[in-house]
Chains A and B, each alone.
Chain A
Amino acid sequence: MSRSSLRKRDESFWKRLSALQLLVRHRAEGQAGPWTTRRVGMSLEFAEYREYYPGDDFRYVDWNLYGRLDRLFVKVFHREENIPVYVLIDTSQSMSVGEKLSYAGELAGALSYIGLKDMNRVGVFAFARALVQGVPARSGLSHLQKILSFLEGLQPNDRTSLSTALEEFSKLPVRRGLVVVLSDMLDPAGYEQGLFHLLIKRHEIALVQILAPEDLEPPIHEVARLVDSEGLGEFSVSAGAVARYRQRLLQYEHGLETFCRTHQIRHKVLSAARPLERALFEDLRGVLFV
């Protein structure tokens, strides 16, 4: 990645990151972790009484209750679980425009750190036309080095196919968890099909759409030869076309926003020119972080 790597960040940056906590809204299943679920477990937090069945651990029988009611009840506690976090990063050629890929890589690294320091299992997967490669979900901060090395080795390649890539991910034998998609979401075939695959698997989805400044305001002053980054064609336009392009981009964004709101997908648009600190500590609060 041409952008300055996360490894060069100073200590204060990591300290500030430590203060952040991933925002998880729905039930998930996993190993013991910082999130208390309604599943019966072994935490210290009392949940309810349940009638004793043979085989239950006698240690959880409430003998005081037995003395009063002359029936056996066992105490049930909440179970503390961790949530698997899957970061899906778009590495298609379109992410090469305006250093979106490097920006997404840094964002993915920071997300991984936040997930790992809270004892979550974090996995990172790259996709373009299909799921390309990835780092399986593991817990422990030692896993971060592997993730960072993986992110630094990412190169833009191939066309985007959100539907194929996300379908492939949904078929992976992974537990349901928080799926963070880092992409420009610019796919001529649409994004709905891919996101449906994730929703079917009951993943909690957070969509961070990264757009380059060139995507928002194409620098066309007079006449320009437009070349698609993914090789979909090229033609010439004049500066007058910029206004119409803006209109279509807004319509596209509006459709995506509506879709996300309908399906309870968290969605945030970021400019790749936005400083990473401001994106992490300001823009993504309430979307990705508590």
Chain B
Amino acid sequence: MIFLSAWAFGLLGVASVIALLYFLRRREERLVVSAIWLWEEEHERPRSALTLLWTKIWLLLVQLAALAALVFSLAEPTLTREFIGGGTLALIIDGSASMQTAEQGKTRYELAIARAAELIEQRRPNRLTIIQAQQSPKLLVPLTEDRPRALFTLKASQPTLQGDAKPSDILELVRSQGGLENFHEVIYISDHAPALPIPWVSVGEPRKNLAITGFAARPVPDGTSQAIVWARVQNFSSEALEGTLKLFAEETEIHQERISLGPGEQRSVEALAPLYTRFRAVLDVIDDFAFDNIRYSVIPRRPQLKILWLGERNFFLMRALSTFAEVSTQTDETASYDLVIAHNTAIRPVGAVLLINSVAEPWVVRAGSISEPGSLQVLVPGHPLVQHVRGEHLRPTTLSGAQLAPGVQTLIASGDQPILAAYRSQGLRFVYLGVDLKSSPLVLTPSFPILIRNSIYWLIPELGLPSERFVSDEFATLGFADQAAINLDPTESEINRLGSPSFVPQESPTRETKSQIYTPIWYLGAWAAFVALAGELLWYYWGVFRRRRWSYERAP
């Protein structure tokens, strides 16, 4: 223990003043009494005045103790503890759904928290940060020196029902706390190996899990009001498991089947159901991970789409639109509409526009006809417009030459001529498809309705609200799994991806730095002084009260 303000001990000199005042106050007073024989008992045990002065001096002792405690407090006593450790530590804790796997009364996440607490106690870092890693990673504890508070925050955290985190997102969060080079150690605590080359502490043991890994429903294409419901059940355990799969349309059970699967096996089940909107698959099984025993599927309602059609009509285009929307077309520009489709015409584009072999000056300007198109190039492969579109299907036989304004992004080109381009600004969005539908085989390929759907969803994003997959953190607690529409990421069902940890924490880290913990304890002295003085004050006033209460008249 050290004292930061040792000068305060000089105040102990006040003790002599207190003692002097105390004994002055207690000095013997001469008192003439009427009848000393009424004090006779006191006379029978004679004591010298000095003896009397030194008896019952506990009030003085209390005062001196209060002074000592006050001086102690003013001297700013601080406990120091030397330890090997220090440095800066980043802990990443897996908060994905698989961390909710039950492990003999606890969850893997709770085990991870306990492991983290052990690591922090072993490392005793000067500063640490804690990150919860899941699909949307979260900074649980920003870089801090306050280890107890960090642990408190960690223990208060809950795992999510999200999937695994992207490594880049985790790295970004670590960097946000001062850069990777600033951390002496970055440790990942999870039930499976991370995709990052960082030390990994494994939690959890192999557990039982029979999971629904796939579930979908779609209308039967023959026009009858029926739907096909499909589910896939997979055993992720190292032992055979049995369960009962039940399929529901709304609240009506449409199918039930006993399923028995060996380790690693999977099985698909199909059933016909009335054409309802919401479907549910429930797996009755006793395993250690309950959140994948129920899945949901929705056959979404087709969106209403009002289209202002300019230029020539096209049967294939209409059919492609009808595959995903209830389409109504109009030619009246004054009525309200959602989208403009311009086919083989020239327009002045406003709002969301699908330009098919059309001109929209000044963004798309006609540049003659090209009879021999060049080689096809997909310039931006990851663009939403070209998702699931096969490039060779767009290969045109003839091509209308077009010149695009700067800012218009070419996605697929044939030679130097754009086939597919897109533009988005504040008041205008358009997709340009430089193919003449009448002379192109594109309309007969599967890519055509996909391309049209991609284009419409890109132009009107609000149409594409996902309904098949919904993950909520709100009910991320065991026991609530059947009360919310939660479809887990199927990879989270693989709860036995444990592997062997790449890192075994050691009792004392290899990096040895001497550090000291300073714990101020001045408040102990302040409290002691306060209690002593308050006690003495109470005792004094109790004495005054007792003396006042006694009077001859009131005496018994």
Contact = CB atoms under 8 A, between A and B. Distances in A.
Interface stretch (A71-79, A122-130, A210-218): A210-218
Interface stretch (B27-35, B136-144, B404-412, B527-535): B27-35
B36 A223 contact: no
Given A98-B34, A225-B31, 11 more contacts: A94-B35, A215-B34, A221-B25, A222-B29, A223-B28, A223-B53, A233-B36, A235-B43, A245-B38, A245-B42, A271-B552
A220 B52 CA distance: 13
A244 B33 contact: no
A19 interface: no
Interface string A161-192: 00000000000000000000000101010000
Contacts of B7: none
B31 A240 contact: no
Counting chain A CB atoms within 10 Å of each CB, the highest count among B35, B42, B52 belongs to B35
A132 B221 CA distance: 142
Contacts of A271: 552
A65 interface: no
B55 A238 contact: yes
B498 to A, nearest CB: 77
B48 interface: yes
Contacts of A186: 34-35, 38
A226 B36 contact: yes
Interface in B44-93: 46-49, 52-53, 55-56
B105 interface: no
Interface stretch (A25-33, A41-49, A144-152, A246-254): A246-254
Interface in A72-129: 94, 97-98, 100
B39 interface: yes
Interface string A225-246: 1111100111111101100111
Contacts of B36: 226-228, 232-235
Given A184-B34, A232-B37, A250-B555, A224 B28 contact: yes
Interface string B527-556: 000000000000000000001001110011
A218 B35 contact: no
A274 B392 CA distance: 125
B469 interface: no
A236 B31 CA distance: 10
A223 B38 contact: no
B555 A246 contact: yes
B26 interface: yes
Given A228-B33, A233-B43, A235-B46, A249 B38 contact: yes
29 contacts: A94-B34, A97-B34, A100-B34, A184-B35, A186-B34, A186-B35, A186-B38, A188-B35, A211-B34, A211-B552, A214-B31, A214-B33, A215-B33, A216-B551, A217-B551, A219-B31, A221-B29, A222-B26, A222-B27, A223-B49, A223-B52, A224-B28, A224-B29, A227-B33, A235-B39, A235-B43, A238-B56, A245-B39, A248-B39
B39 A241 contact: yes
B333 interface: no
Contact of A236 (B34, B37, B38, B47): B47
Nearest to B55: A238
Contacts of B507: none
Interface string B336-366: 0000000000000000000000000000000
Contacts of B49: 223, 225, 236
Nearest to A187: B35
Interface residues of A, number: 43
Nearest to A248: B38
B28 A244 contact: no
Contact of A229 (B27, B33, B552, B556): B33
Contact of A244 (B27, B32, B41, B555): B41
A236 B35 contact: no
Given A227-B31, A228-B36, A233-B36, A216 B56 contact: no
Nearest to A236: B49
A244 B43 contact: no
A97 B38 contact: no
A146 B43 CA distance: 44
B161 to A, nearest CB: 75
Given A223-B26, A252-B38, A216 B33 contact: no
Given A236-B47, A241-B42, A246-B555, A225 B37 contact: no
Counting chain B CB atoms within 10 Å of each CB, the highest count among A217, A224, A235, A246 belongs to A235
Contact of B37 (A188, A237, A238, A250): A188
Interface in B11-26: 25-26
Contacts of B551: 216-217
B33 A236 contact: no
User: Which 10 pairs of residues, A with B, have the shortest CB-CB distance?
Assistant: A228-B36, A222-B26, A186-B35, A94-B34, A188-B37, A223-B52, A224-B31, A241-B42, A97-B34, A237-B42
Contacts of B25: 221-222
A246 B38 CA distance: 9
Contacts of B38: 186, 245, 248-249, 252
Nearest to A227: B32
A221 B56 CA distance: 12
Nearest to B53: A223
Contacts of A232: 36-37
Contacts of A223: 26-29, 49, 52-53
